[in-house]
Amino acid sequence: MLTARQDPAGDRPGSLGLAPRPTGRGGPRRTSLWRSVSGVLFMAPALVVLLVFWLVPLILVVVFSLFHWDYGTNPQFVGTEQYHIVLSDPLFGQAVLTTLVFAAVVVAVGTAFSLLVAVVLYSEVQARGLFRSLVFLPYVMPMVATSTIWLWMFQPGSGVVDRLMHAVGLPGQVAWLNSSTLALAALCIYTIWYGFGFTALLFTAGLTAIPSEVLNAGLVDGAGAWQRFRYLVWPLLTPTTLFVVVVNTISAFQAFTQIYALTRGGPVNATTTLTYYIYETAFTYFHFGAASASAVVLFVFVVVLTAAQFLLSRRYVFYDEATA
Amino acid sequence: MRAGHRGAGRVATYVVLVVAALFAVFPIWWIVSTSLESPARAYSFPAALIPQGTAANYTTAWQEGPWGRFLLNSLGIGFATTAFVLATGILAAYAIVFLPSRWTRAAFPLVLATMMVPFYAILVPDYLIVRDLGWLNTYISQVVPFAASGFAIFLLVQFMRGFPRALRDAARMDGAGELRFLWSVVVPNLVPALVTVGVYTFLQSWNAFLWPLIVTTSSSVQPIQVGLANFLSTANGTNWTVLAAAAAITAAPMLLLYVLAQRKVVESVSRTGLKG
């Protein structure tokens, strides 16, 4: 995603061997036919996999969403009724709300925190490489393993979180994962912990792209660190910020592993997000039709939200050749 | 950040850095130190920060679950998936860059489109496809659906487009066929890109959870992440020192990869984009 965009059709003039060129063997016509055939053959393995397991299922999920279909029964065409059923399920509504709260907290706090870390990493500090490697570490660790340790850390009484809270005079014996609000908070903390090093890295990439003349000009004009950040860095960083917000939103909507390992969607469905709802509907209750309808709703949700973020921030985002 | 208020500013900078680094690293340190503690001592907080160094938890954990099997499964699935992604990716990217026709031009947008497909959206159809193919509870079901990747092809296309045209023409003049040119000229020059894609693919395969959770039921084919999740949800639910040892076993290969090739891992993940 950070790489330069290329013309997908690839037929820009002057690019590599793109025009069929006549060679010695068999004349232009035969060469070009031969090249088409081998090109298709070369692409075939990848295309088969991507079609069968990624693109056709995308069509199938829409088709399935129009059927009433539980495991072991015959699918029954019900049209859009499946959507009425799903949308009127109170648990679905609750899952939408939970997902929105979870995404809002993770995106707002996570983005702000990783921006702070990135700005600090970007300034002249000793051992920058070491710090960068350390904050990035959670992102490459298996989520089940790190969720297990956070589960232990969140235990009331014996867990580290409780002990640290006790040490600074906060109330102890907090059963994080047994309270509906705190369980969601615990999930947010874990998710921010897991991802902030990665998003900080995205921000550092954006910061590196800011021309140093701009910052130097600010220095010459006597702007302080905060003023330089507020009036120079922040506006120039808006394309990166938008990208980070979109990336964080999409990954918050897709969160699953940490929910499965930390809370199993509980207590009493308090941390059942849409992804977890789909998983349970499909693979605990085997309502394939309902799960497909929810998946379509979630997909539309994410697309709309992403588009809205782009549209809303159009006013605030500063696009420039040097930074975009 | 170069002049003025240097002292205070620098202190604040380092405070933020140290807090962020501690926040990131502490839980991972906590896996290691808890796993090396006796159960009694694991509960005494500041003391447990420096572990006692008992291997008992590892022995217990190793006896209570088929971790060797899980490790082998994950390694096998990871290497197979990586090999397939590289092979299908090299071939497809080569076709797009060096063998363009209207067919490849029509197919490339489809390849790019798969990058936008969220996995949860296709979970049910994919499960049913795998079930109807008779692949439930097999290695195949954990490898083949991920044997090609839009990201990998996209990235390799970018790299291949940077190839000097003269190289291709020279090879054609010498009468080298497509496969020969691909194998002896393109691939050797593509090694850094292949490592980038390979590291990322392996990492993603190692950390995969939702899909193997759905399509596997027996420990003989399950990857280590599902093994750990099952270990967590069965009787061992509160035996934290043993659980930490199991978590450490699960994380160890990734930790090792990160220590050995940290720069490459960071580059792979940030270039290839988004995990999960």
On whether residue A260 sits in a domain, the answer given is: yes
The amino acid occupying position B113 is: A
Domain count, chain A: 2
Per the structure block, which two tokens stand in for A280? Answer: 């349970």
Instruction: Report DSSP letters for B19-46, one per residue.
Output: HHHHHHHHHHHHHHHHHTS-HHHHTSHH
On whether residue A127 sits in a domain, the answer given is: yes
Which residue's entry shows tokens 């031969």? A34
Nearest to A140 by CA among B263, B271, B70, B275: B275
Per the structure block, which two tokens stand in for A147? Answer: 């969720």
State the DSSP code for A3. Answer: S
The pLDDT tens digits for B116-142 are: 888 888 999 999 999 999 999 999 999
Per the structure block, which two tokens stand in for A294? Answer: 């929810």
How many angstroms separate the CA of residue A315 from the nearest CA in chain B? Answer: 25
Cβ proximity of A118 and A296 under 8 Å: no
How many angstroms separate the CA of residue A59 from the nearest CA in chain B? Answer: 9
Chain A interface mutation, best of B13, B17, B43, B142, highest count of A Cβ atoms under 10 Å: B17
Q: Residue B3 has what pLDDT?
A: 46
Q: Residue A109 has what pLDDT?
A: 97
Same domain, yes or no: A154 and A216 = yes
The pLDDT tens digits for B2-21 are: 444 567 777 888 899 999 99
H/E stretch holding A77: strand A76-77
Residues of B with Cβ-Cβ distance to A257 under 8 angstroms: 209-210, 225, 276
Same domain, yes or no: A120 and A231 = yes
The pLDDT tens digits for A74-130 are: 888 888 888 998 899 999 999 999 999 999 999 999 999 999 999 888 887 788 888
Whether B250 has a pLDDT exceeding 80, the answer reads: yes
Q: Residue B92 has what pLDDT?
A: 96
Same domain, yes or no: A146 and A245 = yes
On whether residue A147 sits in a domain, the answer given is: yes
Asked if the Cβ–Cβ distance from A288 to B126 is below 8 Å, we say: no
Asked if the Cβ–Cβ distance from A225 to B104 is below 8 Å, we say: no
Whether B266 has a pLDDT exceeding 90, the answer reads: no
| Total length of chain B | 276
Q: Residue A21 has what pLDDT?
A: 46
Same domain, yes or no: A230 and A135 = yes
* Mean pLDDT to the nearest integer, B176-188: 84
On whether residue A234 sits in a domain, the answer given is: yes
Same domain, yes or no: A253 and A297 = yes
Asked if the Cβ–Cβ distance from B247 to A149 is below 8 Å, we say: yes
Asked if the Cβ–Cβ distance from B30 to A152 is below 8 Å, we say: yes
Q: How far apart are CA B90 and CA B82, in angstroms?
A: 12
Cβ proximity of A200 and A135 under 8 Å: yes
Whether B236 has a pLDDT exceeding 70, the answer reads: no
On whether residue A207 sits in a domain, the answer given is: yes
The larger pLDDT score, comparing residue A172 to residue B103, is at B103
* Mean pLDDT to the nearest integer, B172-191: 83
| Residue B252, C-beta contacts closer than 8 angstroms, at least 6 positions apart | none
Same domain, yes or no: A51 and A152 = no
Same domain, yes or no: A105 and A144 = yes
State the ipTM, two decimals.
Answer: 0.87
Q: Residue A1 has what pLDDT?
A: 37
Residue ranges in chain A modelled with pLDDT below 50: 1-28, 321-324
Q: Residue A314 has what pLDDT?
A: 66
- CATH topology (fold) of B66-272: MetI-like fold (1.10.3720)
Domain ranges for chain B, please list them: 6-54, 66-272
Cα B255 from chain centre: 12
Which residue segment(s) compose the domain that A193 sits in?
Answer: 83-312
Same domain, yes or no: A229 and A196 = yes
On whether residue A78 sits in a domain, the answer given is: no
Residues of A with Cβ-Cβ distance to B165 under 8 angstroms: 16-17
Same domain, yes or no: A185 and A249 = yes
Domain boundary among A15, A36, A64: A64
Q: Is the dihedral of CA B155, B161, B167, B170 positive or negative?
A: positive
The pLDDT tens digits for A196-213 are: 999 998 898 888 888 888
Which residue's entry shows tokens 């050797």? B188
Per the structure block, which two tokens stand in for B191? Answer: 């090694």
Cis peptide before A171 (omega within 30 of 0): no
Q: Residue B237 has what pLDDT?
A: 57
Same domain, yes or no: A57 and A136 = no
Whether B160 has a pLDDT exceeding 60, the answer reads: yes
Same domain, yes or no: A147 and A285 = yes
* Mean pLDDT to the nearest integer, B10-39: 89
Nearest to B255 by CA among A235, A114, A141: A141
On whether residue A129 sits in a domain, the answer given is: yes
Nearest to A290 by CA among A48, A128, A51, A84: A84
How many angstroms separate the CA of residue B275 from the nearest CA in chain A? Answer: 9
Q: Residue A160 has what pLDDT?
A: 84
Same domain, yes or no: A102 and A173 = yes
Asked if the Cβ–Cβ distance from A198 to B3 is below 8 Å, we say: no
Q: Residue A31 has what pLDDT?
A: 67
A236: domain CATH number is 1.10.3720.10
Q: Is the dihedral of CA B4, B6, B12, B18 positive or negative?
A: positive
Chain A interface mutation, best of B108, B122, B155, highest count of A Cβ atoms under 10 Å: B122
On whether residue A241 sits in a domain, the answer given is: yes
Nearest to A251 by CA among B91, B60, B273: B273
Closest CA in chain B for residue A116: B16
Nearest to A118 by CA among A222, A189, A191, A195: A195
